[in-house]
Amino acid sequence: MRRLINDPYDVVEEMLSGYVKAHSDYVKLLEHDGRVVVTTNPVPGKVGVIIGGGSGHEPLFLGYVGKNFADAAVIGNINTSPSPEPCYNAVKAVDQGKGCIYLYGNYAGDVMNFDMGAEMAADDGIRVETVLVTDDVVSSENIEDRRGIAGDLFVFKAAAAAAAKGMDLDAVVAAAKKCNDNTRSMGVALSSSTIPVKGGTIFDMEDGDMEIGMGIHGEPGVRRGKIEPADQVVDEIMEHILKDFPLSEGDEVYTLVNGLGGLPLMDQYILHNHLEEVLRGKGVKVYKSLVGNYATSMDMIGMGITLVKVDEELKELLDYPVDTPYMSIR
């Protein structure tokens, strides 16, 4: 395993400790709960926005806590949901009497634990609503059963902007759902990530192989084969996405080529280059683009494409200014 860590059982605590040291102008840990990262610049009088999930996907989730973005991130162990207490403690820390929204990718463990956190908050009379991100097109035929991957970023962003603009909880929920309904992703993996407590990879993948459609925790994809040229990989991913999510001439999309950790930025821009060509070829306008490691699987070599079909409302929400360590929009 090619990692630089100390005790493999301490990686999450040490990472969080390092994170709040490096970004103390943005975030802190709750004094009574070291698994909750909260903003030090709360916007007064708004709905509380809480994101979270297992760690190992940095800069997701902690990197998106900050002004006009998430108020708190709840951090689980690697690839493992946080337990209910920090989910509840996050609500207690950020609720300002307007209720809170939980936003996270659709994984069974997260649903169970965040739901318990919401029940504990309800006992205190705090309303907490949940919107699950379900952008991974190949993870299920049924949209509501799909996993959330890098589309998280956009759904979090849209909901947080609605909250920052002073909208009430119902409107924040509606913004999150609208963004999720218009977001689709699919990825490819060329290697497994390494797990510190395991001392190695989760699964074997030969050098030279790739798995199209693999999830960010190594969930099975649609096929495994030899690595193909970047353009062909984009074409295959786009075929799956567009089958599920037909785009017409004149539509506008916000694109993300998301690196999973070990894929060079060079390759990500090569992939983006063809992605824009494919979209333009269909008469689809690229509104804006992100390229980079926004939601990773530690050192997994791979990438995903995310498309958000945007209208004026979603553009305004996604362009709304934010200031966090891993996203800055003026």
Cβ neighbour number for residue 182 with a 10 Å cutoff: 21
Phi, psi of 111 (to 5 degrees): -60, -45
CB of 32 or CB of 269, closer to a second copy:
269
Binding window for a second copy (CB under 8 A); candidates: 6-14, 33-41, 44-52, 309-317: 6-14
Return left, alpha or beta for 213; rule: phi > 0 is left, psi -120 to 50 is alpha, else beta: left
What DSSP designation does 288 have? E
CA gap 29, 172 in Å, rounded: 25
Q: Please list every residue from 93 through 152 that binds a second copy, using CB under 8 A.
A: none
Binding window for a second copy (CB under 8 A); candidates: 100-108, 129-137, 159-167, 268-276: 268-276
- To a second copy, the closest distance from the beta carbon of 151 in angstroms equals 18
Q: Which helix (H) or strand (E) holds 51?
A: strand 48-55
CB of 23 or CB of 92, closer to a second copy:
23
Residue at token pair 């991957």: 149
HSE-up of residue 247 (Cα within 13 Å, Cβ side): 28
18 is an interface residue for a second copy by CB under 8 A: yes
Copy the structure tokens of residue 235: 């074409």
Helix (H, G, I), strand (E, B) or coil at 56: coil
Q: Does residue 156 have a cis bond before it (omega within 30 degrees)?
A: no
Is residue 57 annotated as a catalytic residue, yes or no? yes
**Given the residues 57, 240, 272, 274, the one annotated as active site:** 57
Number of residues engaging a second copy in binding (CB under 8 A): 60
190 is an interface residue for a second copy by CB under 8 A: yes
Binding window for a second copy (CB under 8 A); candidates: 118-126, 134-142, 212-220, 265-273: 265-273
Q: Which of 301, 305, 307, 317 binds a second copy (CB under 8 A)?
A: 301
The answer to whether 140 touches 146, Cβ cutoff 8 Å, is yes
Q: What is the dihedral of CA 61, 67, 292, 186, to 10 degrees?
A: 50
1 is an interface residue for a second copy by CB under 8 A: yes
- To a second copy, the closest distance from the beta carbon of 235 in angstroms equals 12
Under the rule (CB under 8 A), what is the footprint of a second copy?
1-7, 11, 14-19, 21-23, 55-56, 58-59, 188, 190-191, 193, 207-208, 227, 229-231, 233, 261-274, 276, 286, 289-291, 293, 296, 298-299, 301, 303, 323, 328, 330
Catalytic residues: 57, 217
